[in-house]
Amino acid sequence: MNRDILSHDEAAESLEAIRSVLDRATRYTHVTWAGVFLVGLVGVLASGFGWVCQLSPSESPEGFLYLWCGALLTALSLGFCATAQKARRAREPVLSRKLLLVSVGLFPSFVVAGLLTVLFADAGTLEFAPGAWMALYGLGILGVGHLLDWEFQLTGWGFLVASAAALFLLRASPHASMLVSFGGIHLGLGFFRYYKERTWQPK
């Protein structure tokens, strides 16, 4: 066999390698297991606190909103700190082009969630808010799914399923649905990322 000749298959293999690297180059990989885990922990603690203090969306809407706005801000801060720490460890800029793409992709979901929350609060139907938050968060993740690893796309679908359950089956138990979704799904993803990051070895 003449090895001086580059065959059709070898050329195809090289082009496939280029495609595969191009795909990897657009992926955002700085979401850490610790960040996702902490976000899940915030979800669990907020649900527990809401349940203990009886902060239901129908009976104490203000308390319910304050609780989850606080939880959102805490989760975003912790997630950002964990991401920034990973970027610094890797000696890379924290505000990278890829982080900007992911943030811009998620932004519309957060805006619509905010608007719907105001609308629900005004109409006195805040019990619909948890389901709507889950649906919009899931859609947001799926919207930027092509920039993230496959498990995030699964997480997006998980939130959509949780949203359906929260809206049609668990509307009377908002703390339980928030515990399972924003707590449980994030904790599960955090554990999975921990396993994935720990078992990865450089060639």
Partner 1 sequence: MAAEMKLSQYQSLNPVIHEKTRLAIMTYLISVGETAFTELKTELRLTDGNLNLHMKVFEKHRFVKVSKAFIDRRPRTTYAITDKGRRAFEEYVSLLERILSLGRRSRLQE
Among 25, 52, 95, 123, contact with partner 1 (rule: CB under 8 A): 25
Write out the DSSP string of the chain: --TTS--HHHHHHHHHHHHHHHHHHT------HHHHHHHHHHHHHHHHHHHHTT--TTT-HHHHHHHHHHHHHHHHHHHHHHHHHHHHHTT--SS-HHHHHHHHHHHHHHHHHHHHHHHHHHHT-GGGHHHHHHHHHHHHHHHTGGGS-HHHHHHHHHHHHHHHHHHHT-TT-HHHHHIIIIIIIHHHHHHHHHHHHHH----
Please identify, among the stretches 66-74, 89-97, 100-108, 158-166, the one whose residues bind partner 1 according to the rule CB under 8 A: 89-97
Q: If binding is defined by CB under 8 A, does position 198 make contact with partner 1?
A: no
Nearer to partner 1, 25 or 123 (CB): 25
Q: If binding is defined by CB under 8 A, does position 11 make contact with partner 1?
A: yes
Please identify, among the stretches 12-20, 153-161, 172-180, 184-192, the one whose residues bind partner 1 according to the rule CB under 8 A: 12-20
How far is it, in rounded angstroms, from Cα 184 to Cα 203? Answer: 34
Closest listed residue to residue 139, CA positions, set 176, 107, 183, 187: 107
Among 1, 21, 52, 123, contact with partner 1 (rule: CB under 8 A): 21
| Least distance in angstroms from the C-beta of 142 to partner 1 | 23
Among 22, 52, 95, 123, contact with partner 1 (rule: CB under 8 A): 22
Q: If binding is defined by CB under 8 A, does position 122 make contact with partner 1?
A: no
Among 1, 168, 199, 202, contact with partner 1 (rule: CB under 8 A): 202
| Least distance in angstroms from the C-beta of 94 to partner 1 | 10
Q: If binding is defined by CB under 8 A, does position 7 make contact with partner 1?
A: yes
How far is it, in rounded angstroms, from Cα 186 to Cα 41? Answer: 8
Among 62, 92, 161, 197, contact with partner 1 (rule: CB under 8 A): 92
Footprint of partner 1 on this chain (CB under 8 A)? 2, 4-8, 11-12, 14-15, 17-18, 21-22, 24-26, 29, 88, 90-92, 97, 202-203
